[in-house]
Amino acid sequence: MVVDDHPIWREGVARDLGERGLEVVATAPDAKAAVRIAPAVRPQVVLMDLNLGETSGVEAITGIVGALPQTRILVLSASGEHADVLEALKAGATGYLVKSASVDELVDAVHRTAEGTPVFTPGLAGLVLGEYRRLAQSPGGEPAVPALTDRETEVLRLVAKGLTAKQIGERLVVSHRTVESHVQNTLRKLQLHNRSQLVRYAIEQGLAE
């Protein structure tokens, strides 16, 4: 499923994916449509732009992940809004690709996302790393702030420095699968933290019934 408010891009990507043997089950131009259509077509992977005209991709991600926990979200954005990308990840996206990526990279990323492997660019690793450091340094009153293990930090830093999973594996003498699972953990902890914060917020606001 392709969600993008720009028709040329949306149709272009859908066609590219179709030509490479992937089935595009639906397209949507904005967050509302995406959240409405997704449960009907139950896509494995949603390719999501963050800048959806008046609506935000982060909203759509929250809505889709809530309704379809099995669906994976790959953010495909021209957005230079780093904070948005981070929010999207916290909301449940498992990968991020810039729109300037080639078709091969895109198809590969979709396959990996479908398998549950996070698609991490160096830029994304830098954002996640920065976020963990910010959380760790934020003044008290934040119980259960997620922290990375030393190994996870090391892996994330190497990803941010542009090394591939294979190169990292060679350097740390582990398999690239291990590397990927470390990366996956960094993301999962951040998402869990986000969810628990939402719940805590809801309880504080008296919204959780």
Partner 1 sequence: MLQRAPSLTPAGTLIDVDHPLEPLWRGAVVYRVLTLLTVIGVSAFHMREYASPVGAVVVLAVMVVWTAVQARVVLSTGRDVRAPFAVADVVVSAGIMLTTPLIVTAAQLDASVPGMGSIWTSGAVLSCAIAFRVPGGLAGAAVISAALVLGKSRATLTELSDIQVLVLAGLTVGFASLVLSRAAERLRRAAAEEAATAERERLARAVHDGVLQVLAHVKRRGAELGGGAVELGVLAGEQEVALRTLLTSGDAEIDESGQRDLAATLRALSSARVTVSAPAHSVELPAATVGELDAVVRAALGNVERHVGPEAPAWVLVEQLDDAIEISVRDDGPGIPAGRLAEAETEGRIGVARSMVGRVADLGGSVELETGPGRGTEWIFRVPGGTA
Identify the residue among 114, 126, 172, 191 touching partner 1 (CB under 8 A): 126
Give me the residue label for tokens 């542009």: 162
Q: Which stretch binds partner 1 (CB under 8 A): 5-13, 32-40, 67-75, 190-198?
A: 5-13
User: The tokens of 190 are what?
Assistant: 């951040």
Q: Which stretch binds partner 1 (CB under 8 A): 61-69, 130-138, 183-191, 195-203?
A: 130-138
Q: Which lies closer to partner 1 via its Cβ, residue 18 or residue 80? A: 80
d(CA 209, CA 206): 8
d(CA 182, CA 165): 10
Give the shortest CB-97-to-partner 1 separation in angstroms: 11
d(CA 209, CA 72): 28
Q: Are 194 and 135 in contact (CB under 8 A)?
A: no
Give the shortest CB-53-to-partner 1 separation in angstroms: 7
Cβ contacts of 93 within 8 Å, gap of 6 or more? 48, 61, 73, 74, 75
Binding mask 23-62 for partner 1 (x = CB under 8 A): ----------------------------x-x---------
Q: Which lies closer to partner 1 via its Cβ, residue 68 or residue 156? A: 156
Q: Which stretch binds partner 1 (CB under 8 A): 4-12, 26-34, 177-185, 187-195?
A: 4-12
Question: How, if at all, do strands 45-48 and 72-77 pair?
Answer: parallel
Q: Which lies closer to partner 1 via its Cβ, residue 131 or residue 152? A: 131
Identify the residue among 67, 83, 199, 202 touching partner 1 (CB under 8 A): 83
For residue 137, count other CB atoms closer than 10 A to its CB: 8
Q: Which stretch binds partner 1 (CB under 8 A): 28-36, 123-131, 178-186, 191-199?
A: 123-131
For residue 28, count other CB atoms closer than 10 A to its CB: 23
Alpha helices in 97-175 (DSSP H): 103-115, 122-137, 150-160, 165-172
Site residues, partner 1 (CB under 8 A): 4-6, 8-9, 12, 16, 51, 53, 78-83, 85-86, 99-100, 102-103, 121-127, 129-131, 133-134, 137, 157, 160-162, 171
